[in-house]
């Protein structure tokens, strides 16, 4: 689905007029950091990773020093990494079952949120019993403003490692970890929101060229790999990352609908093989998924999500050796299944659970939503997740009522005062109990 950009405004950071201190949940250290290291009263500076130390309430330690040298090699991970792995159709953590349940919050690292507001957003999610949050690890821009991760000037791109770029994503990782959450991170977008694939194609191949050249043009693929190398490489040893995803909802068509006419499911499957193998070559710690909507490739099927016309073959992609888990989305209303969206969604979940069992890898429904009858529909769908044996689920999407105002409501958003919120809380407990 196309997502709307939010207009959140960052809250001002309060500092003492006498002594500059870092507020609770603010950054106080890390490689390349040169700001204040003294935390506000009642908090202490705790290292989250090599790039980021954070002022956490109730902690007791000395401020984290600012590194004086640049490390030129990546050290091996510790013996007990704490990275989420898979075993058959289950997720595991340190050899024990790990339940993937939670929500999406694509906006938390974008739109200029303060670290305090990031923490509030993740607190709202964590209170449901969530373990995972899916978010965006991309923002392609040709005009640099706000939070952005990759800027383009002609055919040349630059990854933003500064405070408005990767250092800001460090804040996201740290805030998630502080609330016991792990991140599933998509690395580009099929749609025009926050740049995505068409920016690569427009800048490298030419304005208005076919969307699906993202999957086949050698120069475009090299540029995407370069971004992966920098972004993924930064977090190789970060257990706060649960998994990487190649893209949000890859399809032959993008926002403009322009295609070469030669894109098929085999095109995107070949791309997924190449790119997941590349991620594995630089990061053996984290799981990798495609991030697709789970469309099947069954020409002649009664409804289009099963027909393969958008270039996705769920079963073929799940079978790729370097794909660790499968993903699918569920939006019956915009997909034209309005006669009985609830029943259609139940069958959609059951069919993906069957693929999970047949291929032997975990599968999660990582986006789902309806805009009417949410409570009854979600109750039915989440019960089906449990009864079908599906490995996990992430609802679209989390909402928070922040001091700067509520996060945007796209019709699917679930705020803590929404009647669906207690349902999610009960479901998380039930899914964990199922194991």
Tokens for 206, please give them: 């030419």
182-186/132-136 β-pairing? parallel
Tokens for 78, please give them: 């510790």
Cβ-based burial of 216 (10 A; exposed 0-12, middle 13-18, buried ≥19): middle
Active site residue 249: yes
Q: In what order do the strands lie in the sheet with 150-153?
A: 140-141, 150-153, 156-159
Active site residue 333: no
Report the Cα–Cα distance between both ends of the chain, in Å, rounded: 31
d(CA 33, CA 65): 10
d(CA 317, CA 78): 32
pLDDT in tens, the chain (435 residues): 544 433 332 332 332 334 478 776 677 787 666 788 888 888 888 875 555 576 777 654 433 333 333 333 333 333 335 999 999 999 999 999 999 999 999 999 998 899 999 999 999 999 999 999 999 999 999 999 999 999 999 999 999 999 999 999 999 999 999 999 999 999 999 999 999 999 999 999 999 999 999 999 999 999 999 999 999 999 999 999 999 999 999 999 999 999 999 999 999 999 999 999 999 999 999 999 999 999 999 999 999 999 999 999 999 999 999 999 999 999 999 999 989 999 999 999 999 999 999 999 999 999 999 999 999 999 999 999 999 999 999 999 999 999 999 998 999 999 999 999 999 999 999 999 998
- Omega into 406 within 30° of 0, i.e. cis? no
Phi-psi domain of 307 (left: phi exceeds 0; alpha: psi -120 through 50; beta: other): alpha
Among residues 190, 313, 314, 308, which one has the least CA distance to residue 258? Answer: 190
Q: CA-CA-CA-CA torsion for 423, 426, 431, 432, nearest 10 degrees? A: 150
pLDDT for 435 equals: 86
pLDDT for 50 equals: 59
- Strands (DSSP E) contained in 212-315 are 241-245, 287-289
The DSSP 8-state label assigned to residue 334 in this structure reads: T
CB 212 within 8 A of CB 226: no
Distances (CA, A) of 231 to 170, 186, 318, 331: 11, 11, 24, 30
d(CA 164, CA 82): 28
pLDDT for 361 equals: 98
Q: Mind giving me the DSSP string for 219-246?
A: HHHHHHHHHHHHHHHHTTT-TTEEEEES
- Grouping H, G, I as helix, E, B as strand and the rest as coil, residue 166 is helix
pLDDT for 29 equals: 80
- Grouping H, G, I as helix, E, B as strand and the rest as coil, residue 343 is helix
Tokens for 339, please give them: 């006669």
Which of 36, 245, 249, 366 is an active site residue?
249
pLDDT for 37 equals: 87
d(CA 82, CA 178): 15
Which of 140, 245, 293, 367 is an active site residue?
367
100-104/156-159 β-pairing? unpaired
**How many of the other CB atoms lie within 10 Å of CB of 349?**
26
């Amino acid at each position: 689905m196309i997502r709307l950009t939010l207009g959140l405004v960052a809250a001002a950071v309060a500092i003492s007029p006498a002594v500059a201190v870092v507020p609770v949940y603010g950054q106080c250290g890390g490689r390349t950091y040169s700001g204040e290291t003294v935390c506000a009263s009642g908090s202490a500076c705790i290292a989250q990773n090599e790039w980021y130390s954070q002022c956490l309430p109730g902690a007791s330690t000395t401020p984290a020093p600012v590194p004086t040298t640049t490390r030129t090699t990546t050290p091996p991970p510790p013996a007990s990494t704490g990275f989420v792995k898979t075993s058959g159709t289950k997720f595991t953590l340190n050899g024990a079952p790990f339940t993937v349940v939670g929500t999406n919050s694509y906006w938390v690292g974008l739109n200029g949120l303060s670290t305090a507001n990031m923490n509030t957003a993740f607190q709202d999610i964590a209170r449901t019993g969530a373990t995972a949050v899916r978010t965006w690890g991309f923002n392609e821009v040709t005009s640099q403003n706000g939070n952005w991760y990759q800027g383009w000037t002609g055919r040349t791109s630059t990854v933003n490692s500064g405070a408005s770029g990767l250092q800001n994503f460090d804040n996201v990782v740290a805030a998630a970890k502080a609330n016991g959450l792990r991140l599933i991170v998509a690395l580009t977008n099929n749609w025009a929101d926050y740049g995505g694939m068409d920016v690569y194609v427009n800048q490298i191949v030419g304005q208005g060229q076919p969307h699906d050249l993202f999957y086949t043009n050698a120069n475009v693929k090299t540029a995407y790999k370069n971004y992966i190398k920098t972004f993924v490489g930064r977090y190789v040893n970060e257990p706060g990352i649960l998994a990487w995803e190649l893209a949000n909802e890859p399809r032959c068509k993008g926002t403009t609908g322009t295609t070469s006419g030669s894109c098929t499911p085999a095109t995107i499957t070949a791309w997924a093989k190449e790119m997941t193998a590349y991620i594995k070559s630089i990061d053996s710690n984290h799981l990798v998924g495609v991030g697709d909507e789970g469309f099947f490739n069954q020409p002649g099927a009664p409804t289009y999500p099963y027909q393969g016309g958008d270039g996705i073959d769920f079963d073929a992609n799940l079978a790729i050796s370097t794909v660790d888990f499968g993903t699918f989305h569920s939006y019956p209303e915009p997909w034209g299944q309005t006669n009985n969206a609830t029943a259609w969604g139940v069958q959609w979940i059951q069919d993906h659970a069957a693929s999970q069992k047949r291929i032997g890898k975990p599968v999660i429904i990582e986006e789902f939503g309806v805009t009417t009858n949410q409570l009854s529909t979600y109750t039915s769908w989440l019960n089906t997740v449990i009864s079908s044996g599906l490995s996990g689920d992430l609802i679209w999407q989390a909402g928070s009522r922040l001091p700067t105002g509520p996060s945007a409501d796209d019709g699917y958003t679930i705020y803590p005062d929404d009647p669906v919120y207690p349902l999610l809380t009960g479901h998380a407990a039930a899914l964990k109990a199922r194991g």
